[in-house]
Structure 1
Amino acid sequence: MAAARTALLPLLLLCLLLAAAPSAWAARFACNATAPRANTCQALISYSPPNGTATATLAAVRALFQLRSHRGLLAANGLPLSTPPTAPAPTPLRVRLPCLCSGGAGATFQRPTYRVRAGDTLDAIARGVFAGLVTFQDIAAANNVSDPNKVAVGQQLWIPVPCSCDPVAGQPVVHYTYVVPAGSSVAGIAQEFGTTEETILAVNKMPDAKSLLAGQVLDVPLRACGSNISNTAVDRNLLVPNGTYILTANNCVMCGCSSSTWQLDCQPTQGLSSSFCPVAKCGDMFLGNTSSTSSCETTKCSYGGYTNTTSFTILANLTTSNVCNAAGMSPTAQPAHSSAFRLEPARWRWTELVVSLHVVLLCLGYLRQD
C-alpha cells in the first residue's frame, strides 16, 4: 500500500502543476457582419517577436506574416518610409492583415501560414513562433489535425489569428488583436489605446476587469478617423486609427489620422514619380493644402478616394473644419505598450479555479485507491 502511494506521488505533483497553471483557451472574436464587403476588413495584430529569434527584424516579421509590402508594415506602425527592412522590429509590432467574418467569428483570411520544420510541435508554433496569438487547439482545428503531437515536416499550416470587422456602438472601428502583457490592467489598456474599460469588457464578454489574464488575446477596438471619401471610390471603406497611416490610391496618397479633428489627413506620398501618380487638386489648391478663412475655420483640399473605372483618378474636395470646437476632441495617441500606466496583477477566471479544483480532487481520488 505504502509503495503504491509513493509511486503515485509524481502523478499528484503533475496534477498540482497542471492545476496551478492557467489553462490555454482559444480567443474567439465576435464577427457578425454578413453584408457584402462588410464581412471583410483590415485588422491590426499585435506581435512581439520572442527574444533572440530570427523574427526580430522588420524583414523577418514581414516574411513570417506574408505581408505584401515593406511599406505596409511601416505604415501600420507609423514608421518613416525610409526605415530599412533590416531595422529591429518594435515591440509590440502592429501587423495589418485581412480579416474575414464567418459563422459569427472572425479570423485572418488565408494568412499567415507556416511550414512545419523538424522538431516543431503545434504548441511550440503557437507560443514560440506566433507569440501566443493562437493556441495549438486553434491551429489543430483550423487544419483538421487530429493529433496535435503529430505534424509532418513540410506540412503547410494556416494560423487563424482572431480578428473582427464589427462596428462598436454603431461606429466603425479598427479591431486590434492584442496579447496582454504580464501585470496589465483593463484600465491601463483602455487608457493606452484611447477607449474605455466598459468597451473592452463588453467587446470581449468579460464579467469584470479582475478576470483579465496575462497572455490573454484581447480584442481592443480602436477609434478610426472619419473621411470625405466618395461612396463610389475604390477605397471607400478606408479606416485609419490614430498612431498609424495607410498608403492608398496605388501608394500615391499617404493618409494618417489627425490628432486634432478626427479626420483623415492625406498628402501625396513623397518620392513617387509624378508621371505615375495623377495630380489631385481642389481648384488652385493641391491635395493636403490648407488655408485659414477665420481664426477658427480652415479650408482644406481633402482626399476623396480614387477610381479605376476608365482611368486612374485621385479625387479631392474642399472641406471646412472648425478647429475651435475640435480643440477638446484630440484622440489619445496609441504607442507601443508602455508600463507607465497603473498595473495590477492578473487574476484567474472562476471557471479556471473550478477546473483546477476538479483536477486536484481527481488526483486525490487516485491516492485513495488501494
Structure 2
Amino acid sequence: MGGLPRLFLVIIFGAAAASWVVEAQPQARFKCSSEGKTCRSLVDYSSPNETTLGHIQKLFNLKHVLDIVGANAFPSTTRGNRTVGKGQIIKIPFQCRCANGTGLSNKTPLYTIRKDDTLSHIAMGVFSGLVTYQQLQALNNIPDATLIQPGQKVWIPLPCSCDQVDATDAVHYGHLVARGSSFQQIALQYGTTQDALLDLNNISDPKSLQAGQIIDVPLKACSSSTVKNDSLDYPLLVAKGMDTYTANGCVKCSCNNAADNATLQCEPSQVKPYKWDTCPSMLCGNSTIGNVTSAASCTRTICAYAGYNNQTISTALSNESTCSAPTGSGASRNSLQGWGWNHLLMPLYFLFCLSFLVNSNATCP
C-alpha cells in the first residue's frame, strides 16, 4: 500500500478514535430544580499542558487570580505566574444558574475561537472534556460544527447545581474522577455517602463509575446571615476548607468549620485590591471586620462583613455563640463509652480484691 493511502487511513482512524473518546465520556448532567436560582459552584480542571494560574484565570474569564487562590486554599501570596503542571487539577469557581431542571455556568466562560480550532478540540483539547462538542454546538446554536470562524465566541457550559442537599445549602463540586476511584472512596473523602452521590448523579450502578468522569459532589459549606441581598456577592457560600476573596479582593472569607451552616469567618485580606485603588473603610465604630467588639458568657459580638457595592464595603455587628451546645446523641455516646469502661473494669477490680483477700487477711483496698 502506498504512503499516501496509508496516511489517509491513519488520519481517518485517528479521527474516528478521537470521536469515540468524546462519545465514550459520559456527559455531566447535574440536577438543579431551583429554577432561576444562581449560586457559586466549583469544577475540576485538568490542564492539558503545562501552564500558569494566570492563563487558567483568563481561560475561565475569572475576575482575578485570587478566585483560584481561594478555591484551592493556596497562600494569599500566590501570583498568576505560578506554574501549573500538565494534568494538575485546579478547582475553578464560577457562577451557576438553574434552568429547565439542570445547572450550567451562567453564560461564562466565553472562549474566542482561534485559527484551526474545531469544536471537538475546544471541548477536549482546551477544556479537557468538561463539555462535549455536541453541547457546544447545541447550546451555542451553531448549525454546522465545521463552519466556525476565528474571533467567534462560544459559551462553555460547565455543569453545576444550586439545590440544597438534605435541606441544607451546599457547594456543588464537579469532581474529576481519578483512575481507580470508587463512589465509596469519594464519599468518604468529601464527607458524604455513596447513596447521596448515586442519587445526585442519577446513577444506579456504582460500578459504572469511569475515570475522567465529572460527578456532582456536595460539599459542606459556611454562609453568612449578615451579607445583604443587594450585595454584589450575595449569596455568599464557601465550601469547607476553602476561602473566597470578595469585595474586589479587599475581604477574605474562610470556611474552617465542619458543621453544616457554619458561620463564615471574614477579615481584611491584606492583599492589593483590584478595580479599587485602595480598600474602602471596613469599620464597625473603632473595630475592623473580623474583630471582637464585646464578649460575655457564651456570646461574643464581632464586626461582621455585610457585603459590598461599587463604592463601599458594608459592616454589621453580629452576635455569635461561643459555647457548644450538648446534643442528645453526643451525650448518649459519651455515656455509653463511660458505661463500657466502668463495667469492664469493675469485674477486674473484684477479681483483684478476691485474690488479695485469699492471700492475706486484710480488707480489700
> Is the shorter-chain TM-score for this pair beyond 0.5, marking a shared fold?
yes
AA paired with 1:305? A
Q: 1:5-20, aligned counterparts within 5 Å?
A: none
Q: Residue 78 of structure 1 is aligned with which of 63, 68, 73?
A: 73
Displacement of 1:195 in angstroms is: 1.8
Kindly tell me: are residues 135 and 309 of structure 1, through their superposed partners in 2, closer, same or farther at Cα, counting changes over 3 Å? closer
Assess if the C-alpha contact under 8 Å between 1:302 and 1:318 holds in 2: no
1:201 has 2:168 as partner: no
SS for the counterpart of 1:315 is strand
Partner of 2:241: 243
Kindly tell me: are residues 18 and 115 of structure 1, through their superposed partners in 2, closer, same or farther at Cα, counting changes over 3 Å? closer
Q: What is the TM-score of this pair, normalised by structure 1?
A: 0.72
Take 1:148 and 1:182, find their aligned partners in 2: how far apart are those partners?
31
Displacement of 1:81 in angstroms is: 2.0
SS for the counterpart of 1:240 is strand
Partner of 1:264: 264
Take 2:278 and 2:180, find their aligned partners in 1: how far apart are those partners?
52
AA paired with 1:229? T
Displacement of 1:279 in angstroms is: 3.5
Assess if the C-alpha contact under 8 Å between 2:227 and 2:236 holds in 1: no
Partner of 1:318: 319
AA paired with 1:138? Q
AA paired with 1:83? T
Provide structure 2 residue ranges, at least 5 long, that are not aligned to the other structure. 1-9, 331-365
Assess if the C-alpha contact under 8 Å between 1:266 and 1:287 holds in 2: yes
SS for the counterpart of 2:73 is coil
SS for the counterpart of 2:237 is coil
SS for the counterpart of 1:200 is helix
Assess if the C-alpha contact under 8 Å between 1:233 and 1:305 holds in 2: no
Take 2:110 and 2:20, find their aligned partners in 1: how far apart are those partners?
33
Q: 1:86-101, aligned counterparts within 5 Å?
A: 86-89=81-84, 91-101=88-98
Kindly tell me: are residues 279 and 135 of structure 1, through their superposed partners in 2, closer, same or farther at Cα, counting changes over 3 Å? closer
Displacement of 1:173 in angstroms is: 0.9
1:28 has 2:29 as partner: yes
Name the stretch that deviates more: 225-234 or 40-49: 225-234
Displacement of 1:48 in angstroms is: 1.1
Take 1:313 and 1:17, find their aligned partners in 2: how far apart are those partners?
55
Take 2:258 and 2:201, find their aligned partners in 1: how far apart are those partners?
29
Kindly tell me: are residues 279 and 176 of structure 1, through their superposed partners in 2, closer, same or farther at Cα, counting changes over 3 Å? same
Kindly tell me: are residues 94 and 69 of structure 1, through their superposed partners in 2, closer, same or farther at Cα, counting changes over 3 Å? same
1:42 has 2:40 as partner: yes
SS for the counterpart of 1:254 is strand
AA paired with 2:315? I
Assess if the C-alpha contact under 8 Å between 2:289 and 2:315 holds in 1: no
> What is the alpha-carbon root mean square deviation over aligned residues?
3.4
Displacement of 1:155 in angstroms is: 2.6
AA paired with 1:33? S
Assess if the C-alpha contact under 8 Å between 2:35 and 2:98 holds in 1: yes
AA paired with 1:269? S
Kindly tell me: are residues 147 and 126 of structure 1, through their superposed partners in 2, closer, same or farther at Cα, counting changes over 3 Å? same
Take 2:325 and 2:256, find their aligned partners in 1: how far apart are those partners?
15
Take 2:164 and 2:114, find their aligned partners in 1: how far apart are those partners?
39
Kindly tell me: are residues 154 and 191 of structure 1, through their superposed partners in 2, closer, same or farther at Cα, counting changes over 3 Å? same
AA paired with 2:251? V
Q: What is the TM-score of this pair, normalised by structure 2?
A: 0.73
Partner of 1:357: none
Assess if the C-alpha contact under 8 Å between 2:173 and 2:217 holds in 1: yes
Take 2:317 and 2:272, find their aligned partners in 1: how far apart are those partners?
19
Name the stretch that deviates more: 104-113 or 140-149: 140-149
Kindly tell me: are residues 325 and 241 of structure 1, through their superposed partners in 2, closer, same or farther at Cα, counting changes over 3 Å? farther
Take 1:240 and 1:98, find their aligned partners in 2: how far apart are those partners?
13
1:66-110, CA deviations, whole angstroms, 9 ceiling, x for partnerless residues? 111122221111112211211023731111111111111111112
Take 2:151 and 2:229, find their aligned partners in 1: how far apart are those partners?
44
Displacement of 1:307 in angstroms is: 5.7
Take 2:19 and 2:148, find their aligned partners in 1: how far apart are those partners?
27
Q: Residue 217 of structure 1 is aligned with which of 210, 214, 218?
A: 214
Higher Cα Rg: structure 1 or 2?
2
Q: Residue 59 of structure 1 is aligned with which of 32, 54, 59?
A: 54
Partner of 1:113: 110
Take 1:221 and 1:174, find their aligned partners in 2: how far apart are those partners?
6
Provide structure 1 residue ranges, at least 5 long, that are not aligned to the other structure. 1-9, 330-370
Q: Residue 175 of structure 1 is aligned with which of 163, 172, 175?
A: 172
